[in-house]
């Protein structure tokens, strides 16, 4: 029926004054009847006044809206009446919706929300890689970047940036902070909006200005807005603070607190000329960010940059030969490694929701069956099909929304726990909140869930013959083959969902176990790790750097409890300072772009022994290997395996980083690229022969690593009172922190796996128990006729376990074909790991068997008399 | 939905009959029902279950207005009056009904 606006307004007005209209109508009808009576038998028999009144009243209602309101009120009465049932449904739903909402809030903040830059989809990361190893992405050199910048017409701007670590000293205390050193145009290319002030300008490349992170602003300056224009001493050089960035600004990662210029590089010239990081084409220290010009696609920009790079290769074959340029969208770059894990967790959460929907569907189905009489009475009184289905629908929606509300509360609590356990290197994690999109998601999920679990009862609530149901006088609903089939189907689905989650959880757990027990090539127990920076004007000379490190180490070794101490520029499990190309003297020179690389680690004597990285052949460094001694090198086993397959490498020579070095030993393989990463070649050179301003100290102590903080401070300060000292960290903590991401995934998926197991067993128990109740009289007759208990148990078990077995088969097939998506997350196990695929079904089968056995056993103890008579 | 006594009403004609009745002057519900019964020689009998919802509908569409008055026997009764909009609607419905009715009659005579 179409309705004009005018009519709608009239209806709305009538609806509001319905009570008055109702009274008037009563008067009107009264008058009508009085006249009918007066006209006597010539009139006609009296009709049903209430009926007329109802029909007329319908004209003052708002149709569907009023009906829905009525349905909702009726539904809430029904749900209140069955409080136990309602609570069970709401709790089940809260688990599913809560898990999804909590995970969605993370997915939304980390993956879905746009990056906080101007037109972030136009930003690309540019890197170079050897032709032979296209995945071996490297930054570029400043001269190369300047050439790209001059010639690249398909870009709207291109800029470079390097990482550095600064000591912050001052009244606010000692600290260290990671910084971005940017070429002039970086911040224009990025197009980020500061919270306060501004970012460094293009004309300030050689000016000591810095923008600080929100975190640093809060921690160090207590959020004081007067911080703009103040001085910040960064590694002994004063900088002017020009801006504060908003929370959640993570360029390019969450660990950066300072965004500054090239000032620190430009202001520290080499012994004889400008800093090599500004002039050398072989020092590839600059990552490159670019903005695509309008209408230019990333592949076209890549082709254009390659044309430039290949021209450079002709002019500078040593530095630019054999390289290709690669571009990657900044979004992909920022989220690489995070996305797959999060989507996996999200997928598991979605399956949990399906599981809880199936459970609720079964609960509803059971209740609909026990309400058959109520529904039949309503039909007999003339309710039409749509009306009854709508009523059941209203109950489902109400349940869904109540479950959703409980789920949001649960998600809120769960999220706080999640955030505490989540790896801190996931970008934008602090943006996670139960915000509007998350709430919208929760409500949508609740309604979808209501639609899913509401379908079955809505269909079965109507089926069956009214007369028959009413005649069945209080016997409750006898379920036909129809209902049985549906229940079996629900069990099958439940088992299939559960097995997929459990397989995923099993694989990730197995992988995590492999990871924690993998060989890291050193003994982290009892090692304290500290940082020492010998930068700034005082330490310009190489001798000064070496001597200072040596004197600090001597003081450290004198601390009671310290049994060994050494220093190097890289530290397991993840700190790598430098990777260099090398060649073996005597081997044919590799083609450009095909040069092998190794992690290049200047280390003091006793560094390897402190970490218990064994020297398997030859000798360790000692005091003889100083700056004036012949250049020497210790190679890792992996390097020996690749280049000295059949000969003893000791005595052979390597060319690396501009020197030819004689191999004096072979060390065991230790991890520098993270636990679980493939083993890569490493070379150690004497620190005295290749000094560097920043080193890590490895201190083996018999006391707790944190207990030496005070003495360590003294050891530093006795050498130079201006050296910054931060508390040492235990190496085993650093190792376990480096696998926090896989641990987080393993942890989350285990929880989901546990939930799946509980939901599935509760569901199976419910289905079997209900089946037993339905068949009580039949079972009673069997027992009365002398059937042994065992046979009753096995009858019930068989009926209960058939759909479980079917679900197992379907779930395993799905998991087997689908587990490939997990491949990127797994370490040391294949996606079709036999153990997981054998153990998980066994666990689920056993759980299901127990869940089915409890009611089956109860069925065998049914008293036949009561069962047969019992109504 | 017109309900029946002896003869079912052609759907949609109840509004037409009520509006037409009211062109003779304001009338209460019982009066309208009596008028239709009398003038149809008791073929069309309108019961309250159809009449009063129809009157509410006509009121909401703005085709009739109502007011409480004293009836000749001094009882309170609600009198309905046709509005200008109601007259216009009556014209449209009357024309369309006649047209449809003639068309039906032509078809019935055709074979």
How sure is the predictor about A364, in pLDDT bands with cuts at 50, 70 and 90? confident
How sure is the predictor about A431, in pLDDT bands with cuts at 50, 70 and 90? confident
Could you write out the DSSP letters of every residue in A445-509?
Answer: HHHHHHHHHHHHHHHHTT-S-HHHHHHTTTS-PPP-HHHHHHHHHHHHHHHHHHHHHHHHHHHHH
Q: Are A446 and A400 in contact (CB under 8 A)?
A: yes
Q: Are A244 and A212 in contact (CB under 8 A)?
A: yes
Q: Are A486 and A460 in contact (CB under 8 A)?
A: yes
Identify the residue with better confidence: A589 or A670.
A670
Q: Using one digit for the tens of pLDDT, what is the confidence trace for A659-687?
A: 999 999 999 999 998 888 888 899 999 99
Determine which of A107-121, A424-438, A704-718, A836-850 has the lowest per-residue pLDDT on average: A424-438
Q: Are A601 and A684 in contact (CB under 8 A)?
A: yes
- From the list A10, A29, A51, the residue facing B60 with the nearest CB is A10
The answer to whether the Cβ–Cβ distance between A7 and B75 falls below 8 Å is no
ipTM of the complex: 0.80
Could you write out the DSSP letters of every residue in A254-290?
Answer: TTEEEEE-SHHHHTS-BTTBS-HHHH-SS---BEEEE
CA dist list (Å): A845 to A211, A795, A809, A848, A852: 59, 17, 11, 5, 10
Helices (H), A590-657: 607-611, 637-643
The answer to whether the Cβ–Cβ distance between A55 and B56 falls below 8 Å is no
pLDDT at B11: 67
Question: Scanning the structure block, which residue is given the tokens 């004036």?
Answer: A628
Question: Scanning the structure block, which residue is given the tokens 């599981």?
Answer: A355
- Distance, in Å, from the CA atom of B30 to the CA atom of B77, rounded to the nearest integer, reads 10
- From the list A7, A27, A32, the residue facing B61 with the nearest CB is A7
A513 exposure class (CB count in 10 Å sphere: 0-12, 13-18, 19+): middle
**HSE toward the beta carbon, residue A806, CA cutoff 13 A:** 13
- Residues of chain B with C-beta less than 8 angstroms from the C-beta of A47: 47-49
Q: Which residues of A touch B (CB under 8 A)?
A: 4, 6-7, 10-11, 14, 24-25, 27-29, 31-32, 34-36, 44, 47, 51-52, 55-56, 58-60
- From the list A10, A47, A58, the residue facing B47 with the nearest CB is A47
DSSP run (H or E) holding A810: helix A789-818
Give the residue from A165, A185, A164 showing the smallest Cα distance to A175: A165
A299 exposure class (CB count in 10 Å sphere: 0-12, 13-18, 19+): exposed
pLDDT at A396: 86
Q: Are A564 and A700 in contact (CB under 8 A)?
A: yes
How sure is the predictor about A635, in pLDDT bands with cuts at 50, 70 and 90? very high
- Distance, in Å, from the CA atom of B21 to the CA atom of B55, rounded to the nearest integer, reads 12
**Helix then strand then coil, % of chain A, to nearest 5:** 55, 15, 30
Which SS3 state, helix, strand or coil, does residue A712 take?
Answer: helix
How sure is the predictor about A61, in pLDDT bands with cuts at 50, 70 and 90? low
Q: Using one digit for the tens of pLDDT, what is the confidence trace for A792-836?
A: 888 888 888 899 999 999 999 999 988 888 887 888 888 889 899
Task: Looking at the complex, report in whole angstroms how far the Cα of residue A21 sits from the nearest Cα belonging to chain B.
Answer: 10
The answer to whether the Cβ–Cβ distance between B59 and A10 falls below 8 Å is yes
Residue A273 reports pLDDT greater than 60: yes
- From the list B49, B53, B76, the residue facing A47 with the nearest CB is B49
Residue A472 reports pLDDT greater than 50: yes
Helices (H), A705-775: 709-717, 731-737, 740-774
- Residues of chain A with C-beta less than 8 angstroms from the C-beta of B57: 59
pLDDT at A614: 95
pLDDT at A432: 80
Residue A569 reports pLDDT greater than 60: yes
CATH of domain B13-109: 1.10.10.10
Phi (first) and psi of residue A787, to 5 degrees:
-65, 135
pLDDT at A476: 45
Mean pLDDT of A179-185: 92
Question: Scanning the structure block, which residue is given the tokens 């759980």?
Answer: A847
Residue A1 reports pLDDT greater than 50: no
Q: Where are the domains of chain A?
A: 5-62, 67-113+331-477, 132-321, 479-516+739-871, 527-701
- Distance, in Å, from the CA atom of A860 to the CA atom of A275, rounded to the nearest integer, reads 88
- From the list B30, B53, B78, the residue facing A56 with the nearest CB is B53
- Distance, in Å, from the CA atom of A591 to the CA atom of A603, rounded to the nearest integer, reads 30
The answer to whether the Cβ–Cβ distance between B48 and A24 falls below 8 Å is no
Name A789's Cβ contacts closer than 8 Å, sequence gap at least 6. A783, A860, A861
The alpha carbon dihedral of A109, A111, A113, A115 has a sign of positive
- Residues of chain A with C-beta less than 8 angstroms from the C-beta of B71: 31
Give the residue from A247, A286, A272 showing the smallest Cα distance to A164: A286
> Which residue from A minimizes the CA distance to B29?
A32
b/e map of A81-101 (b: 16 or more CB within 10 Å)? eeeebbebbbebbbbbbbbbb
Give the residue from A456, A160, A414 showing the smallest Cα distance to A283: A160
pLDDT, averaged across chain A: 85
Q: Using one digit for the tens of pLDDT, what is the confidence trace for B3-59?
A: 434 556 666 788 899 999 999 899 998 889 889 888 888 888 888 878 888 898 898
Number of Cβ within a 10 Å radius of residue A544:
13
Long-range Cβ pairs for the range A637-645 (8 Å, 24+): A637/A666, A637/A667, A637/A668, A637/A669, A638/A669, A638/A679, A638/A680, A638/A681, A638/A682, A639/A598, A639/A681, A639/A682, A639/A683, A640/A666, A642/A596, A642/A681, A643/A584, A643/A587, A643/A596
pLDDT at A384: 72
Q: Are A210 and A259 in contact (CB under 8 A)?
A: yes
Residue A578 reports pLDDT greater than 50: yes
- Distance, in Å, from the CA atom of A819 to the CA atom of A628, rounded to the nearest integer, reads 58
Structure tokens at B32: 């309208």
Identify the residue with better confidence: A259 or A793.
A259
pLDDT at B4: 39
pLDDT at B5: 44
Give the residue from A706, A660, A674 showing the smallest Cα distance to A521: A674
How sure is the predictor about A475, in pLDDT bands with cuts at 50, 70 and 90? very low
Q: Using one digit for the tens of pLDDT, what is the confidence trace for A14-23?
A: 878 888 888 8
Q: Are A669 and A677 in contact (CB under 8 A)?
A: no
Long-range Cβ pairs for the range A109-114 (8 Å, 24+): A109/A428, A109/A429, A109/A431, A109/A432, A109/A433, A110/A335, A110/A338, A110/A342, A110/A426, A110/A427, A110/A428, A110/A429, A110/A431, A110/A432, A111/A335, A111/A338, A111/A339, A111/A342, A111/A343, A112/A437, A113/A428, A113/A431
Q: Are A126 and A158 in contact (CB under 8 A)?
A: yes
Residue A865 reports pLDDT greater than 80: no
Identify the residue with better confidence: A434 or A144.
A144
- Residues of chain B with C-beta less than 8 angstroms from the C-beta of A18: none
Number of Cβ within a 10 Å radius of residue B16:
18
- Distance, in Å, from the CA atom of B19 to the CA atom of B16, rounded to the nearest integer, reads 5
- Distance, in Å, from the CA atom of A398 to the CA atom of A132, rounded to the nearest integer, reads 61
Q: Are A327 and A125 in contact (CB under 8 A)?
A: yes
Q: Percent of chain A at pLDDT above 90?
A: 33
Name A280's Cβ contacts closer than 8 Å, sequence gap at least 6. A141, A143
Task: Looking at the complex, report in whole angstroms how far the Cα of residue A71 sits from the nearest Cα belonging to chain B.
Answer: 23
Long-range Cβ pairs for the range A279-283 (8 Å, 24+): A279/A142, A279/A143, A280/A141, A280/A143, A281/A141, A281/A143, A281/A144, A281/A316, A281/A319, A281/A320, A282/A141, A282/A318, A282/A319, A283/A141, A283/A142
Q: Percent of chain A at pLDDT above 70?
A: 92
- Distance, in Å, from the CA atom of A266 to the CA atom of A274, rounded to the nearest integer, reads 7
pLDDT at A290: 94
What is the total residue count of chain A?
Answer: 871
Give the residue from A251, A665, A194, A627 showing the smallest Cα distance to A428: A251
Q: Using one digit for the tens of pLDDT, what is the confidence trace for A107-148?
A: 888 777 778 888 888 999 999 988 887 877 888 999 999 999
How sure is the predictor about A271, in pLDDT bands with cuts at 50, 70 and 90? low
The answer to whether the Cβ–Cβ distance between A28 and B78 falls below 8 Å is yes
Question: Scanning the structure block, which residue is given the tokens 């009184």?
Answer: A381
Q: Are A112 and A274 in contact (CB under 8 A)?
A: no
pLDDT at A182: 94
- Residues of chain A with C-beta less than 8 angstroms from the C-beta of B68: 24
């Amino acid at each position: 029926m179409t309705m004009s606006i005018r009519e709608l307004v009239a209806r709305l007005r009538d609806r509001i004054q319905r009570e008055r209209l109702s009274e008037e109508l009563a008067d009107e009808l009264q008058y009508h009847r009085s006249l009918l009576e007066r006209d006597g038998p010539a009139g006609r028999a009296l009709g049903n006044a209430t009926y007329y009144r109802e029909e007329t009243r319908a004209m003052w209602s708002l149709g569907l809206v009023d009906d829905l309101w009525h349905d909702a009120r009726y539904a809430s009465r029904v749900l209140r009446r069955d409080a136990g049932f309602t609570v069970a449904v709401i709790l089940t739903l809260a688990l599913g919706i809560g898990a999804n909402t909590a995970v969605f809030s993370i997915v939304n903040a980390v993956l879905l929300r746009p990056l906080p830059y101007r037109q972030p989809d136009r930003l690309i990361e540019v890197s170079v890689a050897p032709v032979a190893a296209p995945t071996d992405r490297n930054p570029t050199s400043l001269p190369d970047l300047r050439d790209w910048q001059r010639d690249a017409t398909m870009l709207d701007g291109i800029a470079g940036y390097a990482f550095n670590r600064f000591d912050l000293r001052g009244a606010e205390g000692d600290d260290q902070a990671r910084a971005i050193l940017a070429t002039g145009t970086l911040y224009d290319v990025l197009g980020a909006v500061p919270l306060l002030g501004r970012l460094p300008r293009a004309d300030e490349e050689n000016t000591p200005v810095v923008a600080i992170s929100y975190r640093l602003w809060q921690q160090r300056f207590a959020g004081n807005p007067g911080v703009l224009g103040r001085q910040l001493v960064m590694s002994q050089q004063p900088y002017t603070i020009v801006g504060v960035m908003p929370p959640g600004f993570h360029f390019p990662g969450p660990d950066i607190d300072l965004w500054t210029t090239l000032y620190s590089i430009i202001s520290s010239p080499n012994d004889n000329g400008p800093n090599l990081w500004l002039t050398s084409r072989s020092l590839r220290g600059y990552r490159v960010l670019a903005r695509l010009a309008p209408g230019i696609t990333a592949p076209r920009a890549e082709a254009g940059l390659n044309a430039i790079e290949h021209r450079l290769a002709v002019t500078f074959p040593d530095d630019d030969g054999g390289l290709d340029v690669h571009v990657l969208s900044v979004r992909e770059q920022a989220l690489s490694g995070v996305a797959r894990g999060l989507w996996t967790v999200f997928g598991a959460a979605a399956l949990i929701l399906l599981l809880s929907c199936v459970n609720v569907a079964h609960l509803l189905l059971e209740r609909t069956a026990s309400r058959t009489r109520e529904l039949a009475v309503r039909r007999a009184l003339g309710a039409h099909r749509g009306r009854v289905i709508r009523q059941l629908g209203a109950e489902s929606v109400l349940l869904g929304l109540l479950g959703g509300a409980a789920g949001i509360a649960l998600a809120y609590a769960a999220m706080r726990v999640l955030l505490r356990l989540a790896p801190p290197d996931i970008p934008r994690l602090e943006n996670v909140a139960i915000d509007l999109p998350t709430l919208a998601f929760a409500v949508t999920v609740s309604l979808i869930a209501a639609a899913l679990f509401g379908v079955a009862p809505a269909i079965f609530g109507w089926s069956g013959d009214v007369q028959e149901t009413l005649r069945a006088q209080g016997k409750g609903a006898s379920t036909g083959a129809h209902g049985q089939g549906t229940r079996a189907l629900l069990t099958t689905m439940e088992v299939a969902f559960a097995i997929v989650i459990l397989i995923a959880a099993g694989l990730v757990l197995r992988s995590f176990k492999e990871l924690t027990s993998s060989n890291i090539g050193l003994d982290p127990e009892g090692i304290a790790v500290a940082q020492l920076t010998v930068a700034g004007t005082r330490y310009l000379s190489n001798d000064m750097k070496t001597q200072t490190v040596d004197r600090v180490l001597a003081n450290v070794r004198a601390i009671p409890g310290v049994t060994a101490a050494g220093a190097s520029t890289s530290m397991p499990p993840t700190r790598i300072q430098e990777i260099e190309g090398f060649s073996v003297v005597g081997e044919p020179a590799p083609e450009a772009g095909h040069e092998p690389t190794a992690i290049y680690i200047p280390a003091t004597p006793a560094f390897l022994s402190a970490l218990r990285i064994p020297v398997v052949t030859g000798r360790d460094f000692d005091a003889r290997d100083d700056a004036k001694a012949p250049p020497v090198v210790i190679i890792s086993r992996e390097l020996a395996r690749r280049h000295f397959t059949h000969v003893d490498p000791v005595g052979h020579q390597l060319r690396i980083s501009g020197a030819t070095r004689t191999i004096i030993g072979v060390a065991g393989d230790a991890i520098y690229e993270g636990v679980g990463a493939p083993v890569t070649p490493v070379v150690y050179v004497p620190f005295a022969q290749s000094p560097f301003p920043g080193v890590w100290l490895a201190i083996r102590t018999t006391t707790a690593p944190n207990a030496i903080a005070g003495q360590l401070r003294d050891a530093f300060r006795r050498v130079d009172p201006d050296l910054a000292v931060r508390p040492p960290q235990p190496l085993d903590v650093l190792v376990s922190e480096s696998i926090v991401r896989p641990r987080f995934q393993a942890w989350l998926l285990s929880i989901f796996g546990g939930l799946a197991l509980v939901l599935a067993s509760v569901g199976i128990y419910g289905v079997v128990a209900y089946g037993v109740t339905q068949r009580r009289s039949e079972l009673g007759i069997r027992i009365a006729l002398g059937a042994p208990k065992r046979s009753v148990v096995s009858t019930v078990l068989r009926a209960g376990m058939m759909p479980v077995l079917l679900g197992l088969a379907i779930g395993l097939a799905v998991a087997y074909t689908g587990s490939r998506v997990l491949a990127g997350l797994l370490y040391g196990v294949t996606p079709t790991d036999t153990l997981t695929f054998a153990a998980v079904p066994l666990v689920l089968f056993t759980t299901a068997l127990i869940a089915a056995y409890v009611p089956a056993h109860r069925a065998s103890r049914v008293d036949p008399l009561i069962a047969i008579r019992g109504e | 939905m017109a309900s029946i006594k002896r003869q079912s009403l052609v759907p949609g004609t109840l509004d037409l009959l009520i509006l037409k009745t009211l062109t003779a002057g304001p009338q209460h519900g019982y009066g309208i029902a009596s008028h239709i019964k009398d003038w149809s020689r008791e073929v069309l009998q309108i019961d309250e279950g159809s009449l009063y919802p129809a009157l509410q509908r006509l009121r909401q569409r703005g085709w009739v207005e109502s007011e409480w008055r004293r009836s000749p026997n001094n009882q309170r009764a609600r009198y309905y009056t046709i509005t200008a909009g109601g007259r216009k609607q009556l014209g449209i419905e009357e024309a369309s009904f006649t047209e449809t009715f003639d068309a039906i009659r032509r078809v019935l005579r055709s074979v």
